[in-house]
């Protein structure tokens, strides 16, 4: 579709006319001009990502502009970086608490997405109090009581899950697969040496035009492993892909059959067979009675290729999308379609099934049951004796989050899995991640063993709104169709430690660098290479105690963030735990973001002699982007530095290109280009002697940021 591109080019020209006078013009008037352009984009197109960036600019130019700030929050909740909606909704709430009836609920949603569950519960309680006081209100901005109870239930679950993180390593699969656009729905063959996935990247897309949201059309891409590493993904080709939307659903264990979703007949499943040449044939509709006039959205096939599981919203289900099973008859057609019943399906959406290689373990995602919000991944096992499915078990945190977690596929040995997610080390929107489970998914232990839980009772709205509401699930109800009953939360077993091994207490105290007062930031300690989360207990007064149980020395990354302060992202090494008790104390002093403050971005890595980022760089880059987003008036210098190897001219050019690469990344993420000044210093400002690699040249090869305006 080319018309949207024309519209956006026109709007870009309009904004360019506004921009030159940015510093001289009244910020409030400029904010209104940006607001009008964002509204015009949404009126003419569905390009919400483009409109959101412009609306956010309007809101940050004038924090008293209620309409712009409300729309900025609303757009964040419906696109990416959902937790950032809080900032904009709070600006509205502080100025006019009655601007929208559901404003407290929306603030709660933003906090929930940011895993700040106590704050979310507080605002959900405020909203429930409003529902009681104004029970006759029937406006379109009213959220019903049942929906609020569900979100309260999810926050309770979130608190429980995040306090018991599983021993899961969740790592970005790499730039060979992921892009700055959406990458999702990975499927692999049994040997795990071929991956097929859906992407909306511009590069190598069959349609050079864009869809009506100003993003490229979906295309199916593929990659193979060579010498243990993924090759750069490429388009699967015009036989399978069309110039319009195409997405994959499943791949048979031997890699010979690819299942595809096409927007035909309400949404149908097609399949394609691999030819002797290695290419896939032209897709044809699945034979039998799988496809209907309703939507068939996901599919998985058993290793013996005799059973299919798929999702559909056809009539006769329990509500929304349900998961069904079908078997192949003697003619090779799929028949005997049956709903998996209330043990699996809920009155909300149940989707993304994957049948394990053992033919009896089913992984799927559900918006019902005991989840943290959106889709959570569950597993259930079919008992061949009783002919029943076991009670589904939540795979726990950090696999599951308050946002959608779906399209989970496991390896044959159950020690690895793949799915798409939005995480802090992402390269764009959704990325594909690999999950490593050392003991295997089939050997997971329950963190808790409770009776089935129902939704929590109504919050006591007579309580003071300043007090964070305490809400607990009620006793179970004898209802087999209860969509929220799950007896356990499941996480991977912590590796068995040697006898009498005592975990190391790694105690971090966070202080304000100016007055040494304690702070309560967002803090996390994870494995530097595997991203395994170290359990943490807040002790109060800015003190956080991490429990390190590894018996071998390991590299970690300590992350500390507080709005208005320079973020800390330190690499450190902690020795292995032994039979002796040991406490390691560390103090972090947070520096305010004031003019002149600077910091070294140690975790930005470039390819040798190039200005292209390595996969390990994106966590640091995204933290820098988040800091700039939280401080919309801040202007920074990005300084590139090299060691002394090479000529002065060459190092100057390389350092400038690397600084420019950081700026380009930030601008692509929505940061105003005028707020980032790239400067290459070459080898002119060494931190140490260049005579030694580890203690000299390595320290000198760096990127720094410095606050120029605040």
Q: Report the 10 Å Cβ neighbour count for 517.
A: 9
CA distance 703 to 662: 9
**Using 50, 70 and 90 to split pLDDT, how confident is the model at 24?**
low
Q: Are 634 and 707 in contact (CB under 8 A)?
A: yes
Can you give the pLDDT at residue 211? Answer: 92
> What CA–CA distances, in Å, run from 326 to 257, 288, 290, 330, 336?
17, 10, 8, 13, 5
Q: 3-162 architecture in CATH?
A: Alpha Horseshoe (1.25)
**Using 50, 70 and 90 to split pLDDT, how confident is the model at 20?**
very low
Structure tokens at 53: 């960036």
Q: Are 141 and 102 in contact (CB under 8 A)?
A: yes
Q: Is pLDDT larger for residue 468 or for residue 701?
A: 701
Structure tokens at 186: 């990975």
Can you give the pLDDT at residue 371? Answer: 96
Can you give the pLDDT at residue 684? Answer: 83
Between 281-290, 387-396, 568-577, 639-648, the lowest mean confidence (pLDDT) is in 639-648
Can you give the pLDDT at residue 521? Answer: 95
Q: If you search the block for the tokens 């100025």, which residue do you land on?
A: 95
Backbone dihedral region for residue 111 (phi beyond 0: left; psi -120 to 50: alpha; all else: beta): alpha
C-alpha R_g of the chain: 26
Nearest residue to 233 via CA among 222, 242, 219: 222
The yes-or-no verdict on residue 496 having pLDDT over 70 is: no
Q: Give the side-chain half-sphere CA count within 13 A for 614.
A: 9
Q: Are 356 and 362 in contact (CB under 8 A)?
A: yes
Can you give the pLDDT at residue 553? Answer: 96
Q: Is pLDDT larger for residue 687 or for residue 447?
A: 687
Mean pLDDT of the chain: 88
Can you give the pLDDT at residue 499? Answer: 62
Can you give the pLDDT at residue 692? Answer: 55
pLDDT in tens, 208-258: 899 989 999 999 999 999 999 999 999 999 999 999 999 999 999 999 999
With b for 16 or more beta-carbon neighbours within 10 A and e for fewer, the 655-681 pattern comes to: bbbbbbbbbebbeebbbbeebbbbebb
Q: Are 450 and 487 in contact (CB under 8 A)?
A: yes
Q: Are 254 and 274 in contact (CB under 8 A)?
A: no
| Percent of all residues in the chain with a pLDDT value above 70, rounded to a whole number | 86
Give the contacts of 11 (CB within 8 A, at least 6 positions apart). Answer: 37, 40, 41
Under DSSP, the state recorded for 183 is: E
Mean local confidence (pLDDT), 390-409: 95
Task: State the span(s) of the chain assigned CATH 2.60.40.10.
Answer: 504-590
Task: State the span(s) of the chain assigned CATH 1.25.40.10.
Answer: 3-162
Task: State the span(s) of the chain assigned CATH 3.30.1330.60.
Answer: 598-709
The CATH number of the structural domain formed by 169-444 is 2.120.10.30
Q: Are 187 and 545 in contact (CB under 8 A)?
A: no
Top-level class of domain 598-709: alpha beta
CA distance 123 to 459: 11
Mean local confidence (pLDDT), 419-435: 90
CA distance 50 to 668: 11
Structure tokens at 596: 């002149």
Q: Are 697 and 646 in contact (CB under 8 A)?
A: no
CA distance 676 to 708: 9
**Cα dihedral: 262, 49, 601, 514 (round 10):** -140
Can you spell out the DSSP letters for 18-81?
Answer: HGGGTTTS-HHHHHHHHHHHHHHHHHH---HHHHHHHHHHHHHH-TT-HHHHHHHHHHHHTSS-
Sign of CA dihedral 315, 316, 319, 323: negative
The yes-or-no verdict on residue 295 having pLDDT over 60 is: yes
- Tell me: domain 504-590, CATH 2.60.40.10, correct? yes
Angle at which helices 85-95 and 66-77 pack, to 10 degrees? Answer: 150
Mean local confidence (pLDDT), 420-446: 81
| Percent of all residues in the chain with a pLDDT value above 90, rounded to a whole number | 74
Q: Are 346 and 368 in contact (CB under 8 A)?
A: yes
Strand order, beta sheet including 247-251:
247-251, 257-262, 268-273, 284-285
Can you give the pLDDT at residue 270? Answer: 96
Task: State the span(s) of the chain assigned CATH 2.120.10.30.
Answer: 169-444
Per the document, the length of the chain is 710
Can you give the pLDDT at residue 14? Answer: 53
Can you give the pLDDT at residue 443? Answer: 62
Q: Which residues pair with residue 376 across a beta bridge? A: 366
Between 4-8, 49-53, 89-93, the lowest mean confidence (pLDDT) is in 4-8
Q: Is pLDDT larger for residue 486 or for residue 188?
A: 188
Q: Are 476 and 132 in contact (CB under 8 A)?
A: no
**Using 50, 70 and 90 to split pLDDT, how confident is the model at 484?**
very low
Mean local confidence (pLDDT), 141-159: 97
Can you give the pLDDT at residue 643? Answer: 80
**Using 50, 70 and 90 to split pLDDT, how confident is the model at 438?**
confident
Can you give the pLDDT at residue 445? Answer: 53
pLDDT in tens, 661-686: 999 999 988 899 999 999 999 988 88
pLDDT in tens, 350-388: 999 999 999 999 999 999 999 999 999 999 999 999 999
Q: Are 436 and 491 in contact (CB under 8 A)?
A: no
């Amino acid at each position: 579709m080319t018309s949207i591109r024309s519209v956006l080019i026109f709007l870009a020209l309009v904004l360019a006319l506004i921009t030159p006078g940015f510093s001289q013009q009244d910020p409030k008037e400029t904010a209104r001009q940006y607001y009008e352009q964002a509204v015009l984009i949404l009126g003419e197109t569905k390009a919400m990502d483009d409109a959101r960036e412009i609306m956010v600019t309007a809101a940050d130019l004038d924090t008293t502009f209620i309409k712009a700030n409300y729309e900025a929050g609303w757009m964040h909740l419906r696109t990416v970086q959902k937790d950032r909606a809080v900032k904009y909704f709070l600006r509205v709430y502080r100025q006019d608490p009655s601007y929208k009836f559901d404003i407290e609920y929306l603030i709660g949603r933003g906090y929930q997405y940011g895993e700040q569950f106590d704050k979310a519960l507080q605002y959900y309680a405020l909203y429930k109090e409003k529902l009681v006081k104004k029970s006759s209100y029937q406006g379109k901005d009213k959220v019903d009581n049942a929906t609020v109870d569900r979100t309260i239930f999810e926050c309770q679950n979130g608190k429980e899950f995040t306090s018991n993180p599983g021993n899961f390593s969740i790592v970005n699969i790499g730039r060979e697969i992921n892009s700055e656009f959406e990458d999702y729905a990975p499927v692999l063959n049994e040997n795990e040496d071929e991956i097929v996935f859906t992407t909306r990247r511009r590069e190598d897309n069959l349609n050079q035009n864009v869809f009506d949201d100003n993003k490229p059309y979906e295309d199916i891409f593929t990659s193979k492993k060579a010498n243990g590493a993924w090759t750069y993904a490429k388009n699967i080709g015009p036989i399978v892909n069309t110039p319009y939307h195409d997405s994959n659903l499943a791949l048979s264990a031997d890699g010979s059959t690819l299942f595809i979703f096409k927007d035909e007949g309400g949404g149908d499943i097609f399949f394609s067979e691999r030819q002797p040449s290695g290419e896939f044939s032209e897709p044809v509709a699945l034979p039998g009675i799988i496809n209907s006039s309703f939507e068939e959205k996901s599919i998985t096939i058993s290793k013996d290729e005799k059973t299919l599981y798929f999702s559909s919203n056809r009539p006769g289900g329990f509500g929304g999308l349900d998961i069904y099973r079908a078997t192949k008859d003697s003619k090779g057609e799929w028949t005997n379609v049956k709903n998996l019943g209330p043990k699996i399906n809920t009155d909300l959406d149940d989707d993304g099934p994957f049948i394990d290689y053992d033919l009896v373990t089913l992984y799927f995602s559900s918006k019902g049951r005991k989840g943290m919000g959106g889709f959570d991944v569950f597993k259930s096992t079919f008992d061949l004796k009783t002919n029943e499915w076991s009670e589904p078990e939540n795979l726990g945190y950090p696999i599951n989050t308050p946002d959608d977690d779906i399209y989970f596929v496991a390896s044959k040995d159950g020690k690895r899995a793949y799915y798409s997610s939005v995480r802090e080390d992402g390269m764009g929107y959704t990325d594909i991640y690999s999950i490593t489970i050392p003991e295997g998914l089939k050997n997971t232990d329950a963190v808790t063993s409770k009776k089935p839980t129902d939704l929590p009772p109504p919050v006591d709205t007579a309580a003071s709104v300043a007090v964070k509401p305490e809400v607990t699930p009620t006793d179970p109800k004898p209802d087999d169709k209860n969509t929220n009953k799950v007896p356990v939360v499941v996480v991977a077993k912590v590796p068995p430690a040697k006898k009498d091994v005592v975990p190391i207490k790694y105690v971090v105290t966070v202080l304000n660098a100016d007055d040494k007062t304690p702070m309560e930031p967002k803090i996390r300690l994870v494995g530097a290479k595997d991203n395994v989360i170290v359990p943490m207990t807040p002790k109060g007064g800015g003190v956080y105690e991490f429990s390190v149980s590894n018996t071998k020395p390991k590299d970690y990354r300590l992350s500390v963030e507080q709005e208005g302060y320079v973020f800390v992202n330190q690499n450190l090494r902690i020795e292995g735990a032994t039979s002796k008790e040991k406490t390691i104390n560390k103090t972090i002093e947070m520096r305010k973001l004031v003019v002149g403050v600077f910091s070294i971005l140690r975790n930005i890595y470039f390819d040798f002699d190039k200005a292209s980022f390595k996969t390990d760089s994106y966590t640091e880059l995204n933290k820098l982007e988040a800091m700039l987003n939280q401080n919309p008036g801040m202007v920074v210098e990005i300084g590139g530095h090299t060691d002394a190897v090479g000529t002065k001219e060459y190092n100057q050019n390389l350092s400038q290109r690397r600084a420019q690469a950081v700026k380009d990344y930030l601008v692509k993420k929505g940061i105003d280009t005028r707020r980032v000044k790239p400067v290459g210093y070459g080898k002119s400002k060494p931190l140490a002697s260049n005579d030694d690699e580890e203690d000299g040249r390595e320290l000198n090869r760096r990127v720094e940021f410095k606050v120029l305006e605040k």
